[in-house]
Amino acid sequence: MPRYALKVEYHGAPFAGWQRQRDQPSVQGAIEAALARLEPGPHTIAAAGRTDAGVHALGQVAQCDLAKDWAPFRLMEALNHHLKPAPVAIVDCAQVRDDWHARFSALERRYLFRLLMRRAPATHQAGLVWQVPHRLDLAAMRAGAVHLVGHHDFTTFRSSICQAASPLKTLDAIEINEVRTDGGPEIEFRLRARSFLHNQVRSIVGTLERVGRGAWAPDDVRAALQAKDRAACGPVCPPGGLYLYGVGYPEDPFAP
């Protein structure tokens, strides 16, 4: 059976997350239902990461196995037709080797978090950013983030329901930059790692926001990390500002 890699974009608000659920809408369920319109099911697809309820994606990667040998462009077009009107789109498609796996072949995941700084309520960005009514100190947040880069026990920044076997993770990079948008100034947090713990990114951003508004000193982030205690973490920020924007592989399956 030919195997295909799918690059998937979605708006997470209507979904209970990526993973298929019996009584709630999911991104996985929407794509599997579209596949069933092309070939008799059931279909089970795998993804590079299981995003939570309300989390978006610009570059999620999934795989599917089909009986028919589809031209990738035709498969992408057919899936997008059957995905309507769900806010899910297949933005690229490629045939891959039988031993390629969207999750286990991945070398890194890349997440973006958008934080909007303005007092007026967000309109066009509602559900797509985390909004705070105050300016944040970019240099202080960068100083706090330095303590988190590298190989650490991230128990403090891990959800109590996280199912990972170990809290030890290597965070390869955190980039924090201010960007100007028509809706107002935003802070973009970009994080890279081979894998992340449940709620790790949202816990990190929520903690760094405390540093940015002056409630914490940058060194308080190091103390929180060393505490290895969930109670030492800052607030977990809402999911609407979080995007899975890229997945890295030894060879890019979507390269021309």
Q: Mind telling me the catalytic residues? A: 52
For the stretch 177-181, contacts whose Cβ atoms lie closer than 8 Å and that sit 24 or more positions apart, written own/partner, are 177/138, 178/138, 181/116, 181/125
DSSP H or E segment with residue 200: helix 200-212
Q: Are 38 and 66 contacting, i.e. CB atoms less than 8 angstroms apart?
A: yes
- Nearest residue to 205 (alpha-carbon basis) of 112, 86, 81, 74: 112
- Nearest residue to 57 (alpha-carbon basis) of 255, 242, 254, 194: 242
CA distance 148 to 144: 8
CA distance 12 to 239: 9
Q: What is the dihedral of CA 246, 15, 6, 67, to 10 degrees?
A: 160
Query: What is the CA 190 to chain-centroid distance, rounded?
Result: 10
Angle at 235 between CA 161 and CA 232, to 5 degrees: 75
- Nearest residue to 131 (alpha-carbon basis) of 150, 144, 114: 114
Structure tokens at 161: 């329901």
Q: Are 66 and 35 contacting, i.e. CB atoms less than 8 angstroms apart?
A: yes
